[in-house]
Amino acid sequence: MSTLKERITEDIKAAMRARDADRLSTIRMLLAACKQREVDERIVLDDAAVIGIVDKLIKQRKDSIVAFEQGGRADLVDKETAEVKVLEAYLPERLSAEAIGATVAALVAELGASGPGDMGKVMGAAKSRLAGKADMGLVSAAVKQALAK
């Protein structure tokens, strides 16, 4: 089984052969972000770390989409949306809202958390358990809802 980084490298080659410039630039940006982190931290990234980078890049793109929509820049919204679609291909299948809610409820019970003051404690545990498997925005909303009860 190949690693996610190897898959990214192969996808760069495939995009070059297909002359798909937009896809190629997005995948190159992802590989550059991975290599930058490896150089900065002097580590070799595993699949979980690469998924974290993909998540971060998708979040940046979604934030940009909101800003460009407010600014009336439909051309840039389309570009960022296309990049999100390319990046999402590197993520594992995401958990449903129900599965996230069940996991968060189990974490709250496990940690004995109650009230909004325990948000950080529950989010820390949820991040380690759900990293790469769920959208952390949905996880945060589920934690808030569980602690409000």
Q: How many structural domains are present in the chain? A: 2
Are residues 122 and 79 both part of a single domain?
A: no
Which domain does 33 fall in, by range? 4-88
Are residues 67 and 138 both part of a single domain?
A: no
HSE (CB half, 13 Å, CA atoms) of 3? 13
Are residues 35 and 107 both part of a single domain?
A: no
Are residues 15 and 51 both part of a single domain?
A: yes
For the chain, list residues with pLDDT below 50: 1
SS3 track for 58-122: HHHHHHHHHHHHHHCCHHHHHHHHHHHHHHHCCCCCCCCHHHHHHHHHHHHHHHCCCCHHHHHHH
What is the chain's length? 149
Are residues 62 and 111 both part of a single domain?
A: no
User: The domain that contains 60 carries what CATH number?
Assistant: 1.10.1510.10
Are residues 40 and 8 both part of a single domain?
A: yes
Q: What's the confidence (pLDDT) of residue 87?
A: 95
User: The domain that contains 129 carries what CATH number?
Assistant: 1.10.10.410
Q: What's the confidence (pLDDT) of residue 1?
A: 43
Integer Cα distance of 149 and 144 in angstroms: 9
